Amino acid sequence: MKRTFLAITAALALSGCDMAAIDDSGSEIPSVEPGDISQETMVEVTRTLSGDDFEGRAPGTEGGRKTIAYLIEQFEAAGLQPGNNGSWTQDVPLVEITGKNFTPLAVAGEDGEPMEFQYGSDWVGVTYKEEVDTKLEDSELVFVGYGINAPEKGWNDYEGIDMAGKTAVILVNDPDFGTEELDGPFGGRAMTYYGRWTYKYEEAARQGAAGAIIVHDEAPAAYGWGVVESSWSGPQAYAQRGEDAPATTTMNGWVQKGVAERIMKAAGQDLGKLGMAAKKDGFTAVPLGLTASTSFRNDIRSFSSQNVIGMLPGKTRPEEYVLHTAHWDHLGRCKPDETGDDICNGAVDNATGTAALVALGAAHAKAGAADRTLVFLAVTAEESGLLGADYYAANPVFPLAQTVGGINMDAFLMAGPANDVTVVGSGKSELDRFLDKALGDENRVATPEPTPEKGYYYRSDHFAFAKRGVPMLYVDGGEDLKDGGNAAGAKVAKDYTDNRYHGPKDEFDENWDWSGVMADLQLFYRIGRMLAMSEDWPNWVEGDEFKGIRDTDCEGAGAGCGA
């Protein structure tokens, strides 16, 4: 609920903040001084968390436990207070399932010898079921296009087919992928949640499928097969499934595009033509007349990991919360590179973002208490599907209706200073006003994400909060570098994605240029401080998919959302 101009004026005068110009909504955004953010802290925390002795920070490992202990130590040294009723941590119950003894993926028809595809090079698969033996046997393959059931859009790729016991073959991304504009039933070029692999597996399970196989294609997936193979092999962490958990498939997996093309040819189909048909309204699923079989065994381990929570209590409205999030985990030990290195250190992803929580917490502590409470949440198991963030959002320490909004920090590229920042999901919420004010104070500009088709807004921890109605900003470093412009920025991003992302080469480098990262942290400091000193309650914009959730939450919240 927005306050009147006079009330805001009085509040700002009492707080000692300067007033900014009135924005189009009529509400006031306070100006704040730059924060005293320590580059030394950023360097030291990033270096430590990405060291080999932390073994890639996988949840439930010794490296994960070392990470939690280290973060508690660093949060306390930064001047934060324990954020969970006197505790620094929130337990997150997980299960680790490690597949082994994989048989080939055998695809057979009525005639001819079965085709066999090798685990790792041709396909990968996992199970979400806590069972020792996984067996997919003679499961009928059905091409279901993009695997979407969206009643509000009048779109159902599963219409008219019973998927019980069958395996869905699904295209990655959503039907609008490849268009130039941002209009269309699925956001045009911008990916929606319907394009994410998480949704596709969930929907296949709701349809009763025994298996779900996504066809990997590098452009619409936004990463190469090496990322899939590394991320989907070895130990996989999931939220523990209770007795009332939704049904799941027996096996979820990926196949290389070339494998899918061979399967379609054996079925008398053409993958390219099927893909074109799947883009059109009215597409119907295509039984392929083939079956799939595979099996593997699983080692199962139940364990708890922890979210780490620090806070700076507000001085006048401590029951209103401004959230900062970053994930502390990475992949642990993974597929070795050519040197035999099997530790995915996760220096950029996301030791840098975790270090930013510490550095920003310390800077806010030095500045003194804000009006609202500042929360610094380091979440676990992001790499396994946003599990730590999702657990917190489902079991919040601080009520979501009393959480004003937040900032997520996931991977700072060492690209040097930029004239801009890249806003992932720009135009979704009124938090953009706070970002614009901070950018103006820093003489920088916002650039919409260059690749909205990759769906980055749905791929990091802020999404766990956004889908429950809490406005969240996700801002990346800029592409328009002061040294080399957009071409240089695109080159840095491509080099990281191609050579280091989710691999053993994402390691700390003593020669990194931190100047661009520190400039970005000033923006995040200003945004967090402005939100914590404001009386505004930013909402999602009209028409956004999350606005109705926030409105409903606020209506039933009593003292929430500024009521």
CA distances from 75 to 36, 95, 361, 362, 507 (A): 16, 27, 7, 8, 23
Q: Of the candidates 153, 524, 231, 539, which has an alpha carbon nearest to the alpha carbon of residue 364?
A: 524
Q: Are 122 and 255 in contact (CB under 8 A)?
A: yes
pLDDT of residue 456: 84
pLDDT of residue 22: 43
Residues in the chain: 563
CA distances from 472 to 50, 227, 414, 430 (A): 27, 27, 24, 10
Crossing angle of the two packed helices 515-533 and 39-49, in degrees rounded to 10:
110
Q: Of the candidates 250, 287, 35, 24, which has an alpha carbon nearest to the alpha carbon of residue 134?
A: 250
Averages of pLDDT over runs of 10 residues in the chain (563 residues) are 29 36 60 95 98 95 97 98 98 94 94 89 96 97 96 92 98 90 82 88 96 96 90 86 82 98 96 97 96 97 95 97 98 90 95 98 98 98 91 94 96 94 91 95 90 84 94 93 93 91 94 96 97 95 84 76 73
pTM: 0.77
Q: Tell how strand 236-239 and strand 81-82 pair up.
A: unpaired
As a whole number of angstroms, the distance between CA 400 and CA 392 comes to: 10
The position carrying tokens 């080159």 is: 491
Q: Are 211 and 68 in contact (CB under 8 A)?
A: no
Percent of the chain as helix, strand, coil, to the nearest 5? 35, 25, 40
pLDDT of residue 559: 57
The position carrying tokens 């927005």 is: 2
Tokens representing 329?
């985990």
CA distances from 385 to 62, 162, 379, 461 (A): 21, 28, 12, 9
As a whole number of angstroms, the distance between CA 426 and CA 439 comes to: 14
Tokens representing 348?
């950029």
Q: Are 292 and 211 in contact (CB under 8 A)?
A: yes
In degrees, rounded to 5, the angle at the alpha carbon of residue 397 between the alpha carbons of residues 311 and 437 is 55
pLDDT of residue 558: 60
Alpha helices in 375-461 (DSSP H): 387-394, 431-441
As a whole number of angstroms, the distance between CA 219 and CA 437 comes to: 35
Q: Are 408 and 379 in contact (CB under 8 A)?
A: no
As a whole number of angstroms, the distance between CA 135 and CA 554 comes to: 46
Q: Are 521 and 37 in contact (CB under 8 A)?
A: yes
